[in-house]
Chain A
Amino acid sequence: MSDHKINPNNWIDLYSDYLFNYSISRVNDHAIAQDLISETFLAGLKSMKNFKGEASERTWLISILKRKIIDHYRKKNSKKGKAEVRMAYNSSENEGDWLEERVADPFDKTAEDNIENTELGFAINNCLEKLPEKQAKVFEMKTILNYETETICNELDITASNLWVIIHRARTAMAGCLEKNWF
């Protein structure tokens, strides 16, 4: 396995679209998704010394983002939980006890449901995550963002025939990854 290097200078250009969609598919809110990825980049910057080069930058940033998403649901659910408890105590004390128990562990159902969803968007994201970094980037620019071949070649400094080789590998891997559940 090759060692992965870390270079924060290009993070936003390279990964922000990807991270944005990853978080949107999980939190379903543009503004929150933007906050989450902004926090992710800053957290990545702070913990750069923990980057060991075992995973790609992208995978590493995704793992930070995942934690941010879980934290987000934790906060959201504990707020909701407290409100529910307060309401319940106002109406009846016994019922309140019961509700208190029910919401005592707020981080369970909703977060799990939102994160471990098997919808197509998630499946595509997950398969994309398994690709080598460059394949994922080229595939995403070409197939999902619909960039022109020329634009991609210029931006990534590759030739058109390079691009088609990368696209071929990516498409084969993506088809193989999605085949089982979606074809």
Chain B
Amino acid sequence: MMMNKIMMDCEKAHTVCDKSQYKEATVWEKIKLKFHLIFCKICKKYTANNTKLTKLIKSNSVFTPLPKDAKEKIKSNFKKELAKLND
């Protein structure tokens, strides 16, 4: 039946909601989530918070990975000290 196909439990709804934060949910999954949210206050609240979290992290563009060459330099320095310790 159509109804069974479109129903989704809360656990699954959370997962789809998480995936959609990273644009990894399928269209069909998103439709089912929308449908679930009509009835489920808990998941609605979770989705709202989850979306806010995504926006918040995006708005904080401060995070920069350590540049590769710097990482290698730190690593080689560190390895030398580590080798001394193991001697």
A contact residues vs B (CB 8 Å cutoff): 8-9, 11-12, 16-17, 20-21, 24-25, 30, 34, 37-38, 41-42, 45, 120-121, 124, 142-145, 149, 164, 167-168, 171-172, 174-175, 178-179, 182-183
Contact = CB atoms under 8 A, between A and B. Distances in A.
Given A143-B57, A171-B53, A16 B66 contact: yes
Contacts of B71: 12, 16
A42 B57 CA distance: 31
Contacts of B67: 30
Contacts of A149: 22, 24
B15 interface: yes
Interface residues of B, number: 33
Contacts of A121: 60, 62-63
A168 B75 contact: no
Interface of B is mostly: helix
Contacts of B27: none
9 contacts: A17-B65, A20-B64, A21-B63, A41-B78, A45-B78, A124-B57, A143-B22, A171-B18, A175-B52
Contacts of A42: 77-78, 81
Contact of A34 (B18, B74, B81): B74
Interface in B41-57: 46, 49-50, 52-54, 56-57
Contacts of B70: 34
A144 B62 CA distance: 10
Contacts, number: 85
Given A45-B85, A164-B19, A24 B62 contact: yes
B59 interface: yes
Contacts of A30: 67
Nearest to A45: B81
B15 to A, nearest CB: 5
Nearest to B16: A164
A97 to B, nearest CB: 42
A11 B56 contact: no
Given A34-B70, A34-B74, A145 B65 contact: yes
A9 B63 contact: no
B3 interface: no
B81 A183 contact: no
A174 B67 CA distance: 26
